[in-house]
């Protein structure tokens, strides 16, 4: 088709690594927030060897049938640099690919598109007027012509004007035309979740609203390597994908990231820490609070020790990152719960109508007789994200710890 013809006319740059400029110049204090608990996580792959061995990596270069990692390089990147790296690869290899949204051209309010307008030109990396419904509609139109449309919604809190275009049009595009029209080339990126000072309108996690929009995919990465691989998969997936990037991780999450073109699979959850006594399922920023909760459980500090029964301290909790929220990896989750018999789900979004309810119902159906405790959801409360109260609204390590203990001792 058209897209393929264009790609064959402009062969991939063989020395693409020269064009990805480092963006680690001195910068003012981060508007995107910073989390020290995230920054000190053991879950990041901070060596070249561990990064190259990321499970599920599928190399996308010309020699991808040889799964050789020997000569491959990695570079230290935070999450926004990983986004940028993925976008640069996408535009290098696919001439129909364009990136657009508010403030994209100068580099983006979170620096995800730094230097891309200079590298690929203003016809391919450009600002749109301030209209989310327009951005989504425009992206759908582009994608309907077989082009790769990478749209940005500046904050997930502002995705709602685009809701009609995404739910009524994008999700149903293939189905309503009997498969003759489709918009697989559409990817909508958006910063999501709390950042420490965002208040009601810079902290939301709207993934739950899209669960009913069958036809869409929703993906949420937890780290730079995950972000780059999942974003490249999302861009290339033949379905429209909403890619929600936890904004507090833009600077706080740092890893060695392979600089080559690679993808990670969609609709596959990842077991980060294997366990046998309880399944702890989450995605995005709470992954790190869960990690902290497990540390507190296994080796509690003196102040908490009296509240943590010694019998529970040896519990082996299996930590799973869901990664793709829709369609979600029911197999991995249920297989885990059938082993551990207990499930705790953690998400920032509010309890009612959150994704946790959907997962709990499905797991309840498939593992009912195996469960030894009700599925427990630890979430933001059913309130808007009040500014001063954020620390007690979003689930933190202690709240997660408490929920784990309750479920273990049910």
Residue whose CB is less far from another protein, 56 or 134:
134
What CA–CA distance (Å, rounded) separates 290 from 403?
Answer: 11
252 touches another protein by CB under 8 A: no
Whole-angstrom CA distances from 377 to 127, 141, 345 are 40, 39, 5
Q: Report the nearest approach of another protein to the CB of residue 190 (Å).
A: 17
Q: Report the nearest approach of another protein to the CB of residue 149 (Å).
A: 7
Site string for another protein, 173-202 (x = CB under 8 A): xxxxxxxxxx-x------------------
Q: What is the DSSP letter of 30?
A: P
DSSP of 259-274: -S-EE--TT--EEEE-
**Count of residues engaged in binding another protein, rule: CB under 8 A:** 51
Write down the number of H helices and E strands in the chain. 16, 16
The secondary element (H helix, E strand) that includes residue 99 is strand 98-101
Q: Report the nearest approach of another protein to the CB of residue 239 (Å).
A: 5
* Burial tier of 205 (Cβ tally within 10 Å: 0-12, 13-18, 19+): buried
Residue whose CB is less far from another protein, 225 or 235:
235
**Pick from 113, 118, 240, 230: which is nearest to 173 by CA?**
240
Token pair in block for residue 223: 């780290």
139 touches another protein by CB under 8 A: yes
- Cis-peptide, bond into residue 327, ω within 30° of zero: yes
Does residue 100 contact residue 131 with C-beta atoms inside 8 Å? no
368 touches another protein by CB under 8 A: no
Q: What is the Cα 188 distance to its own chain's centre?
A: 12
341 touches another protein by CB under 8 A: no
Q: Report the nearest approach of another protein to the CB of residue 19 (Å).
A: 21
What CA–CA distance (Å, rounded) separates 95 from 101?
Answer: 18
Token pair in block for residue 320: 């799973």
Among 101, 107, 215, 380, binds another protein (CB under 8 A): 215
Report the chain's terminal Cα–Cα distance, integer Å: 58
163 touches another protein by CB under 8 A: no
Among 86-94, 122-130, 307-315, 349-357, which window interacts with another protein (CB under 8 A)?
Answer: 122-130
Among 44-52, 125-133, 272-280, 312-320, which window interacts with another protein (CB under 8 A)?
Answer: 125-133
Residue whose CB is less far from another protein, 2 or 383:
2
Does residue 397 contact residue 292 with C-beta atoms inside 8 Å? yes
Among 62, 73, 118, 164, binds another protein (CB under 8 A): 164
What CA–CA distance (Å, rounded) separates 363 from 358?
Answer: 9
Among 74, 78, 88, 128, binds another protein (CB under 8 A): 128
Does residue 286 contact residue 346 with C-beta atoms inside 8 Å? yes
Residue whose CB is less far from another protein, 66 or 122:
122
Residue whose CB is less far from another protein, 117 or 254:
117
Residues marked active site are found at 132, 202
Which residues, numbered 25-64, are part of the site for another protein (CB under 8 A)?
none
Residue whose CB is less far from another protein, 169 or 291:
169
* Burial tier of 72 (Cβ tally within 10 Å: 0-12, 13-18, 19+): middle
Residue whose CB is less far from another protein, 15 or 180:
180
In sequence order, the 6+-apart residues with CB closer than 8 A to the CB of 132 are 153, 158, 159, 160, 161, 162
Among 98, 116, 345, 405, binds another protein (CB under 8 A): 98
106 touches another protein by CB under 8 A: no
Among 28-36, 53-61, 130-138, 395-403, which window interacts with another protein (CB under 8 A)?
Answer: 130-138
Residue whose CB is less far from another protein, 131 or 409:
131
Does residue 85 contact residue 228 with C-beta atoms inside 8 Å? yes
Among 89, 117, 125, 136, binds another protein (CB under 8 A): 136
Residues in contact with another protein by CB under 8 A are 2, 6, 96, 98, 123, 126, 128-129, 131, 133-134, 136-147, 149, 161, 164-165, 168-169, 172-182, 184, 214-215, 217, 237-239, 267, 327, 330-331
């Amino acid at each position: 088709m058209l897209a393929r013809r264009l790609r064959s006319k402009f062969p991939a740059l063989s020395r693409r690594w020269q064009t990805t400029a480092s963006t680690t110049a001195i910068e003012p204090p981060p508007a995107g927030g910073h989390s020290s608990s995230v920054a000190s996580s053991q879950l990041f792959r901070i060596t070249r060897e561990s990064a190259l061995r990321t499970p599920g990596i599928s190399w996308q270069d010309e020699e991808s049938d040889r799964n050789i990692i020997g000569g491959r390089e990695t570079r230290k990147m935070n999450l926004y640099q990983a986004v940028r790296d993925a976008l640069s690869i996408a535009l290098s290899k696919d001439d129909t690919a364009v990136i657009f949204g508010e403030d994209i051209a100068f580099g983006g309010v979170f620096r995800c598109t730094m230097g891309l307008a200079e590298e690929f030109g203003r016809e391919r990396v450009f600002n749109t007027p301030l209209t989310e419904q327009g951005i989504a509609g425009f992206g759908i139109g582009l994608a309907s012509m077989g082009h790769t449309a990478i749209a940005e919604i500046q904050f997930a809190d502002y995705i709602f004007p685009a809701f009609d275009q995404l739910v009524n049009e994008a999700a149903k595009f293939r189905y309503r035309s009997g498969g003759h029209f489709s918009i697989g080339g559409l990817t909508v990126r958006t910063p999501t979740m709390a950042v420490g000072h965002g208040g009601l309108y810079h902290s939301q996690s709207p993934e739950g609203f899209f669960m009913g929009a069958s036809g869409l995919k929703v993906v949420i990465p937890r780290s730079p390597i995950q972000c780059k691989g999942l974003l490249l998969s999302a861009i290339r997936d033949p379905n429209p994908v909403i890619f929600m990037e936890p904004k507090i991780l833009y600077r706080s999450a740092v890893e060695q990231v392979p600089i080559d073109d690679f993808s990670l699979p969609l609709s596959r959850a990842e077991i980060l820490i294997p366990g046998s006594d309880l399944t702890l399922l989450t995605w995005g920023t709470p992954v790190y609070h869960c990690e902290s909760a497990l540390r507190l459980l296994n080796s509690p500090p003196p102040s908490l020790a009296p509240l943590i029964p010694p019998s529970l301290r040896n519990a082996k909790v299996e930590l799973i990152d869901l990664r793709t929220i829709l369609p979600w990896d029911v197999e991995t989750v249920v297989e885990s719960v059938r082993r551990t018999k207990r499930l705790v789900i953690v998400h920032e979004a509010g309890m009612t109508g959150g994704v946790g309810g959907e997962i709990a119902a499905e797991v309840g159906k498939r593992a009912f007789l195996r469960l030894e405790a009700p599925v427990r959801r630890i979430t933001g409360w059913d309130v808007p994200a009040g500014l001063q109260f954020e620390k007690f609204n979003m689930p933190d390590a202690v709240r997660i710890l408490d929920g784990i203990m309750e479920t273990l001792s049910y």
